[in-house]
Structure 1
Amino acid sequence: MTKIGGVTLEQLKNTYQTPLYIFDEDKIREQCQTFKKHFKHPELKTDVIYASKAFLTIGMAELIHSEGLWLDCVSQGEVYTALKAGFPSEHIALHGNNKTKEELDVALQFKIGVIVLDNPYEADMLMELVNEKHIPKVMLRINPGIDAHTHDYIKTSLLDSKFGLSIQDPSVISMIEKLVKHPFVNFLGTHSHIGSQILEENSFYDHVRTVLEFYASIKEKTGINLTEVNFGGGFGIKYLESDARLDLKNVLPKMLEEVYQIKTRLNLAVEKVYIEPGRSIVGEAGYTLYTINQVKTTINGKNYMFIDGSMNDHIRTALYQAKYDALVFGKEDLKKNRLYTVAGKACESGDIIIHDILLPEVKPNDLLLVKSTGAYHYSMASHYNRLTIPAVVFVKDGKSKVIVKRESFMDLLSHDEHLV
């Protein structure tokens, strides 16, 4: 791969310096349309909500709006970004497991499309804030207890998860009754999410069955027949050549057909279904370009390749033991006969980008492109060691555009104050 979106890696390095986050705009748009096209059913209404925590900037919010998706926000900062981008508030869903009164006030003030409550505290707080001037649409996050096969840090559905309320908790149904009866709340149904980076399709169908059987138990116990359901995201992507690829064109319609069959069998009133892909929209469309600074071989024969980036712009290896593929620009066709550990600039033993990767022999000033870094890289970047955060560019049709400017040292110090 010498080009992304028709722009060479050398051009990008010369124009924007490295480290550099690069997004293939066409790839993002293609993924948006894959979800829009295949998450449809003749008997059900559907909406696709982009989980913005994966990657959000003003430009990204504009792109998501232009593709006809909703936006999932989990903080005031994400909501503010969306509104500054001109994103319609009625197509924003507010999530988060620890909302403040201020966040709920903002959601009500700007008439956010759906507020997803996490727990009784949030529910009580919202019910005190609402009035006849604006009746918000509300969902409740539940925890269906499905053990999706993924990393422990990104499982979100076990019974002791920090998110939502277990469907085994008897208080859940009484809370739903309370919300349904409130005169200034329009309660739609439940939201749930079983984890991230899931590649086993049966996990998604198990999720559908478990939640809709819970809807049937609500109906049986209270007479309440919920009309909407949100199954979250979690659709895995391909990080390595050896990884399986989730067939979205097959999985998405099968999920909806499962909803329709179960709703029909149990005589449920579900008429609208939401999902919230994030990683699966931007993950494989993103890359990080680095310059190789130094190469070192230890006394035990371990080869280190030191790049000009760090865990500050690539935390997922340290945090989740995530694995990545990479290539050396201009050496794509050479034999991969050297085993390298790719390490960064941070003064930290854990500052590893890739633990072991076979590549051709590299030299200082070679360019290294790390693949599938579109999700949770820029959004989790930090200033550890007072390192600056890279620029973000979108590339399309042979042209590139800065979406986020590279930080300067002045930017880094912009909030500091002198002691005296």
Structure 2
Amino acid sequence: TGVIDSKFGFPLSKAEEAVSQAMSASSLNLIGLHSHIGSLIFEVEPYLRAVDVVLDFAGEMKARYGFEISELNIGGGFAIQYTLDTPAPAVSFYAEAIASRIIARCRELGLALPRLTVEPGRAIVGRSGVALYKAGAVKDIPGIRRYVAVDGGMGDNIRPALYGARYEAVVANKMKDKEAGEVTIAGKFCESGDVLIRDIVLPPLLSGDIIALPGCGAYCLPMSSNYNASLKPAVVLVREGRARLIRRRETFGDLAGCDLA
């Protein structure tokens, strides 16, 4: 995302042609521009550069075609903190810097202020979800690694296997226990790359312990699959000390329901 060699959007070299065609089409009313530069962006500077590029382009299109920008969508990508060593800015930090830059550049370019749209999906829901896994078998490879298998994995959270996403974890039923040693939390799926967290220090784990991964409110269940005929887990909403089921666990009937033979 945010590069020329991408399946998304127009490169700037083609954007003027798109504007020209839209402005000359009797059935279209071009009112705005949209950009999206990537995901999990921890700095505000890339957004400011994107604002500059898009508004400079809008100014050129106004001069050449009379295009008046009234909508500006800068996409998403606001980061959240997944691990202790990757703190993320508050959404207000992004918002204040981006809005200030838009106001200043529109004034400089003689553009009316457009309505600003952002898409901060992960920043809204990412931290609201916690994934719970039950520990199963423990495999020790002396001098190399200790694996703890859990009852989930890449079927409900593909991110670690897909692009090396990192998470923290706690043992929910041993929150007061002191950390003891390194373990690798391995998923249940038939893939050697199905590892949720590699080499994390946790209290001693036994079969039946509950391992909690924060930051699982975004890009986990929406990217889930039924690989290995696995069933997608239930979702429970917790609010003010009360819990209620908002999505039931899948059944084998659900899994086979679309099969006709």
Q: Aligned partners of 1:175 and 1:168: how far apart in 2? A: 10
* 1:231-256 per-position Cα deviation (integer Å, ceiling 9, x unaligned): 00100000011112213222202211
The structure 1 segments of at least 4 consecutive aligned residues displaced by more than 3 Å after TM superposition are: none
1:160 maps to a residue whose letter is D
- Whether the 8 Å CA contact 2:23–2:65 is kept in 1: the answer is no
Offset at residue 168 of structure 1 (A): 2.4
Q: Aligned partners of 1:179 and 1:355: how far apart in 2? A: 50
How does 1:297-308 map onto structure 2 within 5 Å? Answer: 297-308=140-151
Q: Does 1:163 align with 2:8?
A: yes
Q: Does 1:310 align with 2:140?
A: no
Identity of aligned residues (%): 37
Judge which range, 400-409 or 235-244, deviates more.
400-409
- Whether the 8 Å CA contact 1:227–1:271 is kept in 2: the answer is yes
- Whether the 8 Å CA contact 2:31–2:68 is kept in 1: the answer is no
Judge which range, 257-266 or 241-250, deviates more.
241-250
Offset at residue 176 of structure 1 (A): 1.2
Partner of 1:292: helix, strand, or coil? strand
Partner of 1:386: 229
Offset at residue 225 of structure 1 (A): 2.3
- Whether the 8 Å CA contact 1:314–1:377 is kept in 2: the answer is yes
- Whether the 8 Å CA contact 2:44–2:97 is kept in 1: the answer is no
Q: Aligned partners of 2:18 and 2:97: how far apart in 1? A: 31
- Whether the 8 Å CA contact 2:234–2:248 is kept in 1: the answer is yes
How does 1:282-297 map onto structure 2 within 5 Å? Answer: 282-297=125-140
Structure 1 unaligned spans of 5+? 1-155
Q: Does 1:338 align with 2:171?
A: no
Q: Aligned partners of 1:401 and 1:177: how far apart in 2? A: 53
Partner of 1:238: 81
* 1:161-205 per-position Cα deviation (integer Å, ceiling 9, x unaligned): 110010123xx2232122123333221111110000000111111
Aligned alpha-carbon RMSD (Å): 1.3
Pairing partner for 1:373 from 213, 216, 233: 216
Q: Does 1:402 align with 2:239?
A: no
Q: Does 1:255 align with 2:114?
A: no
Offset at residue 268 of structure 1 (A): 1.2
Report the TM-score, using the length of structure 2 for normalisation.
0.96
2:186 maps to a residue whose letter is A
Report the TM-score, using the length of structure 1 for normalisation.
0.60
Partner of 2:193: 350
* 1:322-348 per-position Cα deviation (integer Å, ceiling 9, x unaligned): 000010023223221210110011111
Q: Aligned partners of 2:243 and 2:26: how far apart in 1? A: 51
Partner of 1:231: helix, strand, or coil? strand
* 1:293-323 per-position Cα deviation (integer Å, ceiling 9, x unaligned): 1111014441001111121011100011000
Q: Aligned partners of 1:234 and 1:249: how far apart in 2? A: 14
Partner of 1:44: none
* 1:102-125 per-position Cα deviation (integer Å, ceiling 9, x unaligned): xxxxxxxxxxxxxxxxxxxxxxxx
Structure 2 unaligned spans of 5+? none
| Larger relative contact order, structure 1 or 2 (CA cutoff 8 Å, min sep 6) | 1
Number of residue pairs matched? Answer: 261
* 1:216-241 per-position Cα deviation (integer Å, ceiling 9, x unaligned): 12122223222211000100000011
Q: Does 1:273 align with 2:120?
A: no
1:276 maps to a residue whose letter is E
Partner of 1:198: 41
Q: Aligned partners of 2:86 and 2:17: how far apart in 1? A: 43
